[in-house]
Amino acid sequence: MVTVYYEDGSTFVQYAEGKRPLKFDVYLIDSPESDAYLDTIIDFVIATANKPEHIAKMEPAKYWALIERLGTMFCRAYSPTKNHGVTKAKIRSVVYFVLDNAIKAGRWPTAYVITDKTAVQFGGDYVQSEPD
């Protein structure tokens, strides 16, 4: 059974007995660099994860374990905290955001809708530029 709870502005997901809960913090896009880094994370998830139709069929515990695994793999490959100041909890949020959108669309999306309710949000004075 999956339990979700909120504490100090973070979301926690307890997905299996005996496992520590996963911590999620909103990935805030507040600069061109954080916007570009989001693309790096998205590309990694798409290249590494199974097809969305397979992910959609996963049991909840396996789905959350996949999010943790992909987050850990990304952190080992890119050292986001050291190199960009992005915590693992924020990386997990992006992984969740990408997988959730892919499951809903039934394929890897070409664009993602970002709102003030999603795991990835715009912040500060930064406004994403329109594609050329």
Domain count, the chain: 1
Q: Is residue 112 part of a domain?
A: yes
Residue 23: in which H helix or E strand, if any?
strand 22-24
Q: Is residue 8 part of a domain?
A: no
- Tens of pLDDT, residue by residue over 59-94, are 999 999 999 999 999 999 999 999 999 999 999 999
Q: Are 10 and 23 in contact (CB under 8 A)?
A: yes
Give pTM, 2 decimals.
Answer: 0.94
Q: Is 74 exposed, middle or buried (0-12, 13-18, 19+ CB in 10 A)?
A: buried
Q: Is residue 117 part of a domain?
A: yes
21: DSSP letter: P
Residue-level pLDDT at 52: 97
Residue-level pLDDT at 62: 96
Residue-level pLDDT at 117: 95
- Residue span of the structural domain in which 113 resides: 26-122
| pLDDT higher than threshold 60 for residue 132 | no
